[in-house]
Amino acid sequence: MGEGRSMGVTSAAVPWPGEAVLAGPRRFADEWLAVEGKPVVPIVAPSGVDNAVLDRLRMGARSVGASEVLRCGLEPGTAVERLAVQSRLTGGASVLFVVPDLSGAVLASGGGYVLVAGTRSFLSGAVPGGVDAARACFGRTARRLAARFPELPGVAAEYPPVDHAWAKPGDVRADSFVARQLAAMESFVRGELPGPEFARTWFAAWRMSQERGERLRAPLERVLNHLFFVLEDYPIDPTLRDPGDVTDAELLAEVQAALRELATDGV
């Protein structure tokens, strides 16, 4: 069988990638993870690499510009297939997928979950909600499915969120994009930013916060979500204002109320 984008290739033609990325059939190698600081994200997957996981793999591969992935077993010497990302990929309960440049991988070895690991670029596609949000989701689901898959709580404990969900401004990391949103609100109230500049600054920080997977909970989540919808009705270009749109005065009042609500909640 000759090499092709969607055809299998023997292990002699393609070295077994597990030697570089695995430390046994159930773990990624610390040395591989250390290169570019690759995080590991557990994903609940009762049947192993299913269609939902394959979609994550495709998006991760595309995010690093890969047109192919390598598919193989978990034991040294197993055959390696080179598969086109756009081809009909097949998963399995015990399988390893690796991007050819080793920037990302998906590992399934049973137990009702898979491990996804890779560079920030790879994970931006494979785990678009962010590492912490995915780990938190896994932890919640692990508790619910523990009777069926008893390994899940241990996996959740091994890969916890790095940052807890922030409930109040005092919890927020100073270098976060949520902190930039709050700082913009304070500047707007003090008159240091005009309405349009405030809206642009706040939305830019909001987008980056979403991209980085920064997590919130009430009351901070509720307050910022409300302000998001207020700003959606605020025309940054005043020439585009229609009747009923939020005015500068109304926006200022909403931001002042948001800051007061946070302060009233004892934060």
184-200 pLDDT, tens digit per residue, is 999 999 999 999 999 99
5-9, 104-108, 235-239: the lowest-pLDDT one: 5-9
32-36, 51-55, 87-91: the lowest-pLDDT one: 87-91
- pTM comes to 0.64
DSSP three-state, residue 42: strand
Asked if residue 44 lies in contact with residue 141, where contact means CB atoms within 8 angstroms, the answer is yes
Average of pLDDT values for 105-118?
96
Domain ranges of the chain: 8-158, 169-264
- Average pLDDT of the residues of the chain: 90
pLDDT at residue 16 above 90? Answer: yes
Average of pLDDT values for 91-102?
94
pLDDT of residue 52: 95
DSSP three-state, residue 252: helix
Higher-pLDDT residue of 264, 196: 196
